[in-house]
Chains A and B, each alone.
Chain A
Amino acid sequence: MRAVFTSRLFWIGIATLVAGALLPLFASGYVLGLLTVACYTAVFAMSWDLLFGFAGEVNFGPTFLIGLGAYTAGILDARLSPQVSMWLCVAAGAAAAVIGGVLLALPALRLRGPYFGLTTLVAVLMLQNFVVVFAGLTGGEIGLSVPDVMSVDAHANYWIAFGFMALSGAILFGLSRSAVGLILQASGQDTVQAGALGFNVVKHKLAAFIVSAFFSGLAGALMVFYMGTASVGTFVDISVGVQVIIAAVLGGRRTVIGAALGAIFLIGMGELLRPLGEMATLIVSVIALLVILFFPDGFLGILRGRARS
């Protein structure tokens, strides 16, 4: 356990948290709103890194899990509010993501090579079509508005998102550094050898998938009640998933913390460059591409490399 507290990553995480906690003192409501979204995206990216960085499985469909959480929570709230509390809907969203995740992962984890990734990609398309086809239930392409919102106060919303990110990050980071995290990493690296050491690889990967699904779904559900609406474009679309993946890779694979930094960076940059219009997305994409090409270990990889030499 001592190793966790002495690791450089841990202190980078703490520094991020301190910076995040001081921000509301001087940031405007608009900036806080932006950072609120960044916090949720950070949780998406960290959950994804647990699968990619540790279990070694590329989940091309993080938005399948996020979307399940978001839409389950949103639909329940739209139908049952005010008899049923918003928080109950959030819990249901997380549960739905876990159930959906297990249903997808159980058969998919039996596949080898790139096929696991492909199934997750197809799952996203399926969910997207479901939302569009059953528009009566889901709001379809226009989106689903929910009667409840978390708060109208930007500060309150920020603190909820920030706290949620900090807590999720702590749990995911701790998990990745724990004994099961090691086994997971060994399974991801060499399935045959992990099996030869007596580890049930499928069990460990499935557990990682469940944890990842839980946090993705929970974050998705919470974000619905921050935004007040659920739409395909924010929760399900492939491009949202790609953003999450880029954030995680950009920040640094196998670090968890890096994924959060990557998410905040992506959203921050997008905003800073907004005056450039369409160019903004292009520039952010080019930066992401360059980092992935030349620093596949991401921002934290660059930092670590420097510390080592």
Chain B
Amino acid sequence: MLEVSGLTKRFGGLVAVKGLSFALRGGEILGLIGPNGSGKSTAMKSILGVELPSEGSVKLDGIELAGLPAYRIARHGVGLVFQHSRPLNRQSVLENIKIALLPDRLTQLVAGKHADAQARSIAERVGLGAVLDRKPPTLPFADLRRLELAKAIARHPKLVMIDEPFAGLTMSEVAVFSDLIREFRNEGRAVLLVDHNVKGVAALVDRVLAMYLGEKIAEGSADEVMRDETVRRVYLGGALGTAARPETAFHDAVPLLEVEGAGVVYGKALALQDVSLHVHEGEFVSVVGLNGAGKTTLFNAISGLVPYTGSIRCAGDALRARSAAAIACGGIVQCAETRELFGDMSVRENLDLGGNALADEERRQRLDWLFELFPILRSRQAQMARTLSGGEQQMLAIARALMMKPRLLILDEPTLGLAPVILETLSQALEKLRATTTISVLLGEQNVTFALPHADRVYVLDHARIVWEGSPDRFEEEAAATYL
């Protein structure tokens, strides 16, 4: 039914999707998986025409869709269930579903006679029957996702694409949604599930297509893909040498950072649930987890950027009452995923801002030390931060964080979007940091190859919970299954 061939999407010089080809029959569920930045979302958006494909063809029942605007493609029978919903908050659930039933005409002032009955039956089907007259802001998260499903099926799409079908749902809700998705298959629709890993969709899919760096790396049944060598390398890394120090090597009686039973709720979605972990002075701890597992939320809670339940202590003192600025000055410095550099300032100015609180002499010494750690930054001192390459920007972000003399440095996805050669440089710098200073590091990564070699201890975060803790050499054996 759906034939994608040679689909390519370029953003400037970046090739997000590279010659992707696959076919999908009616009554079949295909899982499109890949780690963050692999191009799976871009591929999905290019099929719907939200992003205009640079090259290649997308055919639905033989009709060429590539190049058409999204609304035309939607009318040809492609539906997308969005991960984040923005329903009309002043209209009832019923009216929200009715919108999807309206024709795209300017002359249609009143919804058709059958729209009401149709909307009701769709609501019944997805399990919204009891809340028809409620307004979306009063609904629980799962019902909002149901509403998105309802809107998508109101259009009778031949192809339904679902972005992260189970994100933010509880186990029992996942079961209900799986049944709904199976119903699509039974009706003969083609279903494309887009998700981070095979595990989440394995029970549901007929076939899995794995992507990495914009290209297809494997295709087959869920089992085949999970056994695939390339997939294992992408998700788990190759044979890993680790240099972990046992926890008994750290002698501080009270760990530098203690998180106990931390929980965070965003609106209605559970972002973090009962998470406990600790980091000793001088210890290097990695938190691995796929995109959306809750890493950033955990770090933001530690940095005092989001409200949380449970307790977070630094060297025994509770952090709750402190402002984000006070926490940063107190020695817990976060280097955010988004880097947050001052793009219109020079490298040197960015660093000086980081070392704002230091005396002149100390700042000079620290700068020298950092330029040894990241030699490239020395030659780039006068350059505008936004003109640096991605890897250089990441180094600058880390260097700026180090200027603040942290006791604990939190690194959130430093490898995101970086080329392998840059990873090597970053890797060396982190190793040097570990070997020569007493700075503790808490590293959040989905790239296991990068996260494991330096780590003394590893936590695996999955669906807002810590599911595994241990030394890096035990990771592949014990935790790989939860990660693939």
Contacts and interface: CB of A to CB of B under 8 A. Distances in A.
Interface residues of A, number: 26
A89 B294 CA distance: 64
A199 B73 CA distance: 10
Contact of B108 (A179, A189, A190): A179
Given A178-B110, A192-B50, A195-B70, A186 B104 contact: no
Interface in A160-204: 174-175, 178-180, 182-183, 185-186, 189-190, 192-201, 203-204
Contact of B71 (A180, A182, A199): A199
A1 B111 CA distance: 9
Which of A182, A183, A186, A193 has most B Cβ within 10 Å?
A: A193
Given A195-B71, A196-B70, A197-B74, A182 B95 contact: yes
B88 to A, nearest CB: 6
A183 B86 CA distance: 14
A190 B49 CA distance: 16
A207 B109 CA distance: 13
A204 B88 contact: no
Given A186-B88, A189-B88, A197-B100, A180 B108 contact: yes
Contacts of A183: 99, 102, 104
Given A183-B104, A186-B88, A189-B86, A196 B48 contact: yes
A195 B109 contact: no
Contacts of B107: 180
Nearest to A3: B95
B90 interface: yes
Contacts of B108: 178-180
Nearest to B92: A3
A122 B190 CA distance: 48
A179 B86 contact: no
A254 B95 CA distance: 16
Contact of B99 (A1, A197, A203): A197
B99 A182 contact: yes
Interface centre among B48, B100, B155 (most CB of A within 10 A): B100
Nearest to B85: A193
Contacts of A198: 71, 74-75, 104, 155
Name the residue in A196, A203, A254 with the highest tally of chain B Cβ atoms < 10 Å from its Cβ.
A196
A180 to B, nearest CB: 6
B88 A185 contact: yes
Nearest to B98: A182
B284 to A, nearest CB: 41
B102 A182 contact: yes
Nearest to A200: B71
Given A196-B79, A198-B75, A254-B90, A179 B110 contact: yes
B86 A196 contact: no
A287 B160 CA distance: 50
Nearest to B86: A190
Nearest to B70: A195
B196 interface: no
Contacts of B111: 179
B367 interface: no
Interface in B80-118: 80, 82, 86, 88, 90-91, 95, 98-100, 102, 104-111
A254 to B, nearest CB: 7
Interface of B: 48-50, 69-71, 74-75, 79-80, 82, 86, 88, 90-91, 95, 98-100, 102, 104-111, 151, 155
Interface of A: 1, 174-175, 178-180, 182-183, 185-186, 189-190, 192-201, 203-204, 207, 254
26 contacts: A174-B109, A179-B109, A180-B105, A180-B107, A180-B109, A182-B88, A182-B95, A182-B98, A185-B88, A185-B91, A189-B86, A190-B86, A192-B70, A192-B82, A195-B50, A195-B70, A196-B48, A196-B71, A196-B79, A196-B80, A196-B82, A197-B71, A199-B71, A200-B71, A201-B71, A207-B106
